[in-house]
Structure 1
Amino acid sequence: MRKVFITGTDTGVGKTLISSLLVKKFNAYYFKPIQTGSKEERDVNIVKNLTGLNGEYFLPEVYLLKEPLSPHLAAKRENKKIELKKIFCPQKEPLVVEGAGGVFVPLNENSFMLDLMQKFSLPVLVVARSTLGTINHTLLTLEALRQKKIDILGVILNGPLNLENKNAIEYYGKVKVLAEIPKLKTINSMGIEELLTNFNI
């Protein structure tokens, strides 16, 4: 792995967990260009705690916004505007870039997270829930990425194992499910180590 962009079918599907697994496995740099909800938690701190890597591996956000809202709205609350021209992909390798929410999360009046992904031109890994509703959400995400001609590495399913949903996503989405991550009772550094031992990501 050289560089990868982590997106999700929704918010809260496990992008930060998967990012942590990849950062740990490949000793990769981590970059979340747009962070909302920083008054509650920053994802960079979660990844740092889960991986135990030195601070040099964690690159600063371009936009650090306080409210746990969609980026366009969180920025508006602070009288700011997210501008794609100010966000650049770091020249570091290996690199894990984590997006905010899903592909159609608005960044400003005209741009979506999908546009940032297209600008970075990195292969994309889609994180999806394994449970009911995931087929529709995942297929819509894959279609949006293909419309923008963005390279798709595959899908990772997060949650209880569900063979039917996995098979449907692979068949209808014409994509490979690269891993199925079971729900962890406790998400901590030991859990990350266990996942890396038992699952080929």
Structure 2
Amino acid sequence: MIGLFVTATDTDIGKTIISGAILAAIKNRGINIGALKPLASGCISNNDGVLEAEDATFLMRALDFPESKRTEVNMLALEPALTPAVAAKVSGITINMATVMEHCYKVADSYEAVVVEGVGGITAPLIDDYLLADMIVAMNLPTILVATAGLGSINQVVLTAEYAKQRKINLVGIIINKYDENKAGILEESNLEYMTRLTGLPLLGKFPMLKNLEITSPQLGKIAEEYININEIIKMMELK
């Protein structure tokens, strides 16, 4: 599998926004790229009563994918807004990770590369004691850590990076989401300096707050090129 895994220091940090931005930028360069959000919780029923993941919808929009691609991008949508292991139990569903991984590899074979978005933080339980970290290890993809620059972010980033190192996850860089250059002060600037110095990881981007979630793929890709080091990410993915 060739691609990139996107994780974060916590939930609601911006994995989906950053994943979509990277996807749109790479697509706009003419590369045949796919998206995977294998497991999603907190999903909402559409008019036909089918559960849909908003995260998957955004990734699909980033690639101009039709609705028919939804189950490819997101094979399992869970309604409870809980970590997948708990959401599945509450829903009476058994998650088979072998099936999930088989799906991911099959999808990846259809593209030059894929961007895989995780769920929650790196230790989010997917089934029982099988964590998101276990999935990342199994996929063996270069992994980007999405974080914010607010108070407490140094601790979150350093602890996540240390755990990733312990698990031998190939963490390749940090992208800061919801970053406002005009409002950033000593707090944000010093946090970024400490994050990179204490983890040894490069800062691959400072992405602004994205207010329009219905942005088109070309527009999203253009913003990504401005705020994220797409060249370096493509190099890390070993795309030719």
Q: Which amino acid aligns with 2:129?
A: N
Query: Unpaired runs of 5+ in structure 2?
Result: 28-32, 46-51, 230-240
User: What is aligned with 2:23?
Assistant: 23
- Preserved contact between residue 30 and residue 57 of structure 1 (Cα < 8 Å): no
User: What is aligned with 1:130?
Assistant: 149
1:107 to 1:193, Cα distance in 2 relative to 1, 3 A: closer
Decide which of 145, 158, 162 is 2:164's aligned counterpart. Answer: 145
Query: Unpaired runs of 5+ in structure 1?
Result: none
1:34 to 1:182, Cα distance in 2 relative to 1, 3 A: same
User: What is aligned with 1:67?
Assistant: 80
Per the TM alignment, residue 196 of structure 1 is displaced from its structure 2 partner at its CA by: 2.7
Decide which of 187, 193, 212 is 1:167's aligned counterpart. Answer: 193
In the alignment, the residues of structure 2 paired with residue 120 and residue 197 of structure 1 have an alpha-carbon distance, to the nearest angstrom, of 26
Per the TM alignment, residue 102 of structure 1 is displaced from its structure 2 partner at its CA by: 0.5
Show CA shifts across 1:149-186 (max 9, x none): 11112000112342211111000111111101122343
User: What is aligned with 1:12?
Assistant: 12
1:112 to 1:189, Cα distance in 2 relative to 1, 3 A: same
Bigger-Rg structure (1/2): 2
Show CA shifts across 1:77-119 (max 9, x none): 1112323222223323221000000011111222111111111
Per the TM alignment, residue 52 of structure 1 is displaced from its structure 2 partner at its CA by: 5.1
RMSD over aligned Cα atoms: 2.0
User: What is aligned with 1:32?
Assistant: 37
User: What is aligned with 2:89?
Assistant: 76
Decide which of 216, 226, 230 is 1:198's aligned counterpart. Answer: 226
- SS in structure 1 of the partner of residue 7 of structure 2: strand
From the two aligned structures, give the one with the greater helix fraction: 2
How many pairs are equivalent?
199
In the alignment, the residues of structure 1 paired with residue 206 and residue 91 of structure 2 have an alpha-carbon distance, to the nearest angstrom, of 38
In the alignment, the residues of structure 2 paired with residue 86 and residue 197 of structure 1 have an alpha-carbon distance, to the nearest angstrom, of 35
In the alignment, the residues of structure 1 paired with residue 63 and residue 116 of structure 2 have an alpha-carbon distance, to the nearest angstrom, of 18
In the alignment, the residues of structure 2 paired with residue 60 and residue 29 of structure 1 have an alpha-carbon distance, to the nearest angstrom, of 8
Q: Percent identity?
A: 28
Structure 2 length normalisation: TM-score? 0.76
- SS in structure 2 of the partner of residue 45 of structure 1: helix
Question: Relative contact order: is structure 1 or structure 2 higher (C-alpha 8 Å, sep ≥ 6)?
Answer: 2
Whether 2:82 is the aligned partner of 1:53: answer: no
